[in-house]
């Protein structure tokens, strides 16, 4: 169980989160110095970079991961820990991918939805990663119109043979699972999972290292050199490779000419309460992860030591909130009035990369330099799916990569100035439409 272990000291640059306070171990990878040669150099030590590194190392390639801060420093080590089958942008994907996949598009998206779960489950078991992996989600309706979409998802799951994993609940059914009167129904999905994302990320990095991958921390990539033998350059060193993958999501400022205006930061905040003891079992006896059906949603779950970890809202201006606990406390108390006045022990925030049409962006910057980014708040499973797709592409199997790379994305002119205001306006529009539903 991941509980606070005073003997593990998180690095000062990590966010003051419940996750950093409950690290299994702190990473201590060297800074890149001098010249290194590998098959694949990966920029970014989040799930995208690390999951791809594991996949490539398992296929026998020599890999190096280069990270500006610490492994799992970004969204991968600070998120809600919910492993959902809801791919972001699935409707847009369905429309665009029909051009390449024809009638197979629905099957393609359905199987993709659950691929990340399999990869994570297998990896956790194979490498013995301690990350509090548990099954069970409630996708909860806050008003009757939400039930229509839940019913449609439920029907599809049953039609596709997942009937044993899903149950459609009415308001009384939800109250039997959760100590809250807020919801009028839900889907209970036992295939979905939740976990401690930072311990998963550092555990996967250790797995990659055990397979021969080189990992560098405190090593910001300042430039990518293109050519027959591409390279990544930091202040102290250079890695020459046959191929390079840029996996810095919304945190990097590389390759602006091609990538500017494609992805924008939204800030998400999360808090964790004090340990709740018996109250934890009263509010969430089945230890389920919960998220609601709104466009800007609340999501929560219990931690292994019985705290409520609660996230919600998002700031689409791209600026950080100064009082995350002040913003989220009313949401917690509305959901669970029994927690009125509960102590908040941790609060933190992080940027997530939002893409206008919500489809993950995969592409090439030159013949042997690739990028993969943009999961719009649904990245825990999706990064692992993309890690597999990128590893396949880099080793010559381009089928799934090409399907994603063929999707069209909106590139906002003057992206750094106009992107976030456009995103905020779009979100305002969707929230208004939602109020009318």
Sequence-distant (6+) residues with CB within 8 A of 104 are none
Nearest to 348 by CA among 74, 130, 84, 137: 74
Q: Supply φ then ψ for residue 131, to 5 degrees.
A: -145, 30
Give the shortest CB-181-to-ligand FAD separation in angstroms. Answer: 24
Q: Nearest distance from residue 105's CB to ligand FAD, in Å?
A: 22
Nearer residue to ligand FAD within complex by CB, 269 or 306? 269
Cα separation values, 140 from 172, 242, 357, Å: 12, 47, 24
- As measured in angstroms, the least distance from the Cβ of 205 to ligand FAD is 11
Of the pair 44, 185, the CB lying nearest ligand FAD is at: 44
For ligand FAD, the closer of residues 80 and 318 by Cβ is 80
> What is the C-alpha separation between 192 and 138, in angstroms, rounded?
9
Both tokens assigned to 199: 């311990």
Is 165 or 204 the residue whose CB approaches ligand FAD more closely?
Answer: 204
Residues that bind ligand FAD (CB under 6 A): 43-49, 66-69, 73-76, 78-82, 84, 220-221, 247-249, 251-252, 254, 268, 270, 299, 311, 350, 352, 375, 377-381, 383
d(CA 423, CA 294): 17
CB of 6 to ligand FAD, least distance (A): 25
Nearer Cβ to ligand FAD (97/350): 350
Phi first, then psi, for residue 44 (nearest 5°) are 115, 120
For residues 170 and 184, the answer to whether their CB atoms sit within 8 Å is yes
Residue 237 has φ and ψ, to the nearest 5°, of: -165, -175
Alpha-helical runs (H) found in 178-300: 197-210, 256-259, 278-283
User: How are beta strands 223-225 and 214-216 bridged, if at all?
Assistant: unpaired
Q: Where are the alpha helices (DSSP H) in 30-75?
A: 47-58
Whole-angstrom distance, CA of residue 317 vs CA of residue 302: 29
CB within 8 Å of 319: residues ≥ 6 apart: 267
Tell me the sheet residues that pair with 225. 231
**Environment class of 257 (CB within 10 Å of its CB; exposed 0-12, middle 13-18, buried 19+):** exposed
Indicate the residue whose CB is closest to ligand FAD.
Answer: 379
Taking the complex as a whole, the smallest distance from the CB of residue 54 to ligand FAD amounts, in Å, to 13
- Shortest reach from residue 276's CB to ligand FAD, in Å: 20
- CA-to-CA dists, residue 96 to 2, 137, 364, angstroms: 42, 29, 19
Nearer to ligand FAD, 123 or 378 (CB): 378
In the complex, the smallest distance separating the C-beta of residue 229 from ligand FAD, rounded to whole angstroms, is 20
The tokens describing 64, both together, are 């190096």
**Dihedral over Cα of 95, 97, 103, 106: its sign:** negative
151 versus 226: smaller Cβ distance to ligand FAD: 226
Nearer to ligand FAD, 27 or 68 (CB): 68
Nearest approach in angstroms of CB 269 to ligand FAD is 7
Nearest residue (CB) to ligand FAD, 30 versus 60: 30
Task: Write down the least CB distance from residue 346 to ligand FAD, Å.
Answer: 13
Is residue 208 within 8 A of residue 215, CB to CB? The reply is yes
Q: Name which of 133 and 352 has its Cβ closer to ligand FAD.
A: 352
Least Å distance, CB 35 to ligand FAD, is 17
Residues 136, 188 contacting (CB under 8 angstroms): yes
Nearer CB in complex with ligand FAD: 158/287:
287
Residue number with CB closer to ligand FAD (261 or 311): 311
Give min distance, CB of 352 to ligand FAD, in A. 4
325 close to 271: Cβ distance less than 8 angstroms: yes
* Contact yes or no for 353/263 (Cβ under 8 A): yes
Strand partners, 231: 225, 240
Shortest Å distance, C-beta 394 to ligand FAD: 16
């Amino acid at each position: 169980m991941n509980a606070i272990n005073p003997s593990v000291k998180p690095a000062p640059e990590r966010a003051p989160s419940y996750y950093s306070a409950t690290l299994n171990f702190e990473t201590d990878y060297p800074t890149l110095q001098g010249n290194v040669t590998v098959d694949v150099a990966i920029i970014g030590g989040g799930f995208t970079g690390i999951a791809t590194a594991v996949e490539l190392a398992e296929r026998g390639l020599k890999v190096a991961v280069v990270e500006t801060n610490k492994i799992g420093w970004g969204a991968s080590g600070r998120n809600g820990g919910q492993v959902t089958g809801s791919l972001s942008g699935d409707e847009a994907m369905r429309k665009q991918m029909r051009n390449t996949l024809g009638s197979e598009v629905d099957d393609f998206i359905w199987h993709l939805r659950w691929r990340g779960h399999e990869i994570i489950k297998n990896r956790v078991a194979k490498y013995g990663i301690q990350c509090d992996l548990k099954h069970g989600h409630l996708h909860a309706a806050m008003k009757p119109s939400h039930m229509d979409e839940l019913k449609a998802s439920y029907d599809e799951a049953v039609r596709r043979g997942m009937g044993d994993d899903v149950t459609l609940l009415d308001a009384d059914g939800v109250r039997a699972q959760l100590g809250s009167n807020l919801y009028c129904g839900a889907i209970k999905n036992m295939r979905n999972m939740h976990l401690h994302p930072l311990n998963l990320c550092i555990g996967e990095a250790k797995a990659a290292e055990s397979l021969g991958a080189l990992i560098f921390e405190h090593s910001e990539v300042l430039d990518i050199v293109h050519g027959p033998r591409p390279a990544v350059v930091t202040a102290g060193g250079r890695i020459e490779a046959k191929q390079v993958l840029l996996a810095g999501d919304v945190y990097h400022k590389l390759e602006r000419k091609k990538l500017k205006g494609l992805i924008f930061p939204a800030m998400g905040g999360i808090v964790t309460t004090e340990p709740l003891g018996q109250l934890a079992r009263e509010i969430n006896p089945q230890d389920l992860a919960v998220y609601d059906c709104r466009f800007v949603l609340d999501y929560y779950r219990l931690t292994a030591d019985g705290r409520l970890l609660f996230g919600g809202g998002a700031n689409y201006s791209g600026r950080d909130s100064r009082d995350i606990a002040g913003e989220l406390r009313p949401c917690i108390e509305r959901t669970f009035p029994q927690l009125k006045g509960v102590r908040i022990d941790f609060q933190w925030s992080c940027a997530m990369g939002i893409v206008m049409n919500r489809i993950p962006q995969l592409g090439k910057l030159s013949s042997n330099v690739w990028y993969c980014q943009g999961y719009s708040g649904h990245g825990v499973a999706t990064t692992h799916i993309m890690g597999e797709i990128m590893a396949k592409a880099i080793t010559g199997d381009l089928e799934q990569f090409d399907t994603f790379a063929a999707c069209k994305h909106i590139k906002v002119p003057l992206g750094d100035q106009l992107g976030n205001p456009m995103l905020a306006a779009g979100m305002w529009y969707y929230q208004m439409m939602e109020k009318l539903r």
